[in-house]
Amino acid sequence: MRLALLFSGQGGQGLLHWQQLAAAVDGPLGDGLRQALPGIADAATVVGPEGLARNRIAQPLIFAGQMLWWEALRSRLPRPICAAGYSLGEVAACAAAGAFGADEGLALAVERAQLMDHAAPGEFCMLAVLGLDESLVAELAAAEGLAIAIRNAPRHLVVAGRRTGILAVAGRFAAAGASRLVHLAVQTPSHTPLLAEAAARFGQRLAILPERRLAFPVLSAIDATPARQASAACAALARQICTPLDWAACLQAVLEMQPDAVLEIGPGNALVRLFGELAPAIPARAVDDFRSADGVVAWLAGCA
């Protein structure tokens, strides 16, 4: 079977994902989890939506959850033909392919969040805009000091910047005929020049990691360029912090590799829904659709 992997980014995380990690805190990533997410081992700790959207919680939370799924599945899956990660998900894609281990990756997720928060202090957010031409979205966004951060499809874009600008432009998008506006559970101007300092520092951190041949190609979320060596994957991983993502190009590249099935690992199922719009004939599911690794494996067996 030709299996492609997609790793979710921020936005779909919820209390259930916190609870799943809390239940696994005595497992292999336990020490790292306790350091990255103070309170994770205390069943009485409750984190609301606002807290789960904070970089310092969301990034290690999502990465660790992805690694728990990957460890439960990796020996039971065929070798993937490729992996792609949406924003933060690219850290997990690199770890799954062997650019660095899960413990190192968790530390990197913590550091990535810290660098992003330091580079852009203040109130920032991201807004998905559906149904408008890219040129119009770019024009209206720029008028409020915002930038297009992600291209999910030709008329499905994400803009990022200061919260005041997002709130101001939302009404203009609606008046221009946007079919849908979605405020994402993200509190940073990801993939914009505002995070250039964070990208540079993260790149320096990644540059000291040892060179390795990846177990399978990792597609850059910037432009779908495949990396087969850890150094190339890590360089792209740093650049994407301050560079717009062309996720539509990534999905097209996955499709061109002719997968028999596509599996999304991480919170939510937004990525496989996007892939389904592009290629409805190819089976695509997310781990969040299943109660256990057994369910995922059984589904894939039925796709063979």
Judgement on whether residues 159 and 280 belong to the same structural domain of the protein: no
Residue 276 has pLDDT above 80, yes or no: yes
Q: Residue 36 domain-assigned?
A: yes
What is the average per-residue pLDDT within 247-266? Answer: 97
227 shares a domain with 101: yes
pLDDT in tens, 59-82: 999 999 999 999 999 999 999 999
Please compute the mean of the pLDDT values over residues 168-181 and round it to a whole number: 97
How far apart CA 57 and CA 226 sit, in angstroms, is 29
My answer on whether 101 and 170 are in the same domain is no
pLDDT band at 229 (very low <50, low <70, confident <90, very high): very high
Residues 210 and 282 in one domain: yes
Q: Are residues 84 and 197 in the same domain?
A: yes
In a domain, residue 20? The reply is yes
Q: Classify residue 134: in a domain, yes or no.
A: yes
Residue 113 burial (CB count, 10 A): 24
Residue 140: which CATH number? 3.30.70.250
The full 3-state SS of 234-271, as one line of letters, equals HHHHHHCCCCCEEHHHHHHHHHHCCCCEEEEECCCCHH
pLDDT for position 43: 59
Span 205-216, pLDDT tens digits = 999 999 999 999
- Is the pLDDT at 93 greater than 60? The verdict is yes
pLDDT band at 44 (very low <50, low <70, confident <90, very high): low
Question: Does one domain contain both 145 and 212?
Answer: no
pLDDT score at 52: 81
Identify the pLDDT of residue 46. Answer: 64
- pLDDT tens for each residue of 134-145: 999 999 999 999
The DSSP output letter for 79 is P
Could you tell me if 115 and 260 lie in one domain? yes
Q: Is the domain of 31 the same as that of 172? A: no
Name the percent of the chain lying above pLDDT 90. 82
100: left (phi over 0), alpha (psi -120 to 50) or beta: beta
The verdict on 39 and 148 lying in the same domain is: no
What's the total number of domains in the chain? 2
Structural domain of residue 241, as residue ranges? Answer: 3-120+193-303
Q: Average of pLDDT values for 229-245?
A: 98
**Tokens linked to 182:** 């979605």
pTM summary value:
0.94
pLDDT at 34: 87
Using a 10 angstrom Cβ sphere, with 0-12 exposed, 13-18 middle and 19 or more buried, the burial of residue 95 is buried
**What does the buried/exposed string (b/e) look like for 181-208 if buried means 16 or more CB atoms within 10 Å of the residue's CB?**
beebbbbbbbbbebbebbbebbbeebee
Residue 256 has pLDDT above 60, yes or no: yes
Q: What is the pLDDT of residues 111-127, one digit of tens each?
A: 999 999 999 999 999 99
* Region 32-53 average pLDDT: 77
- Look over the chain and give the mean of its residue pLDDT values, rounded to a whole number: 94
User: Which of 52-61, 171-180, 228-237 is the least confident region?
Assistant: 52-61
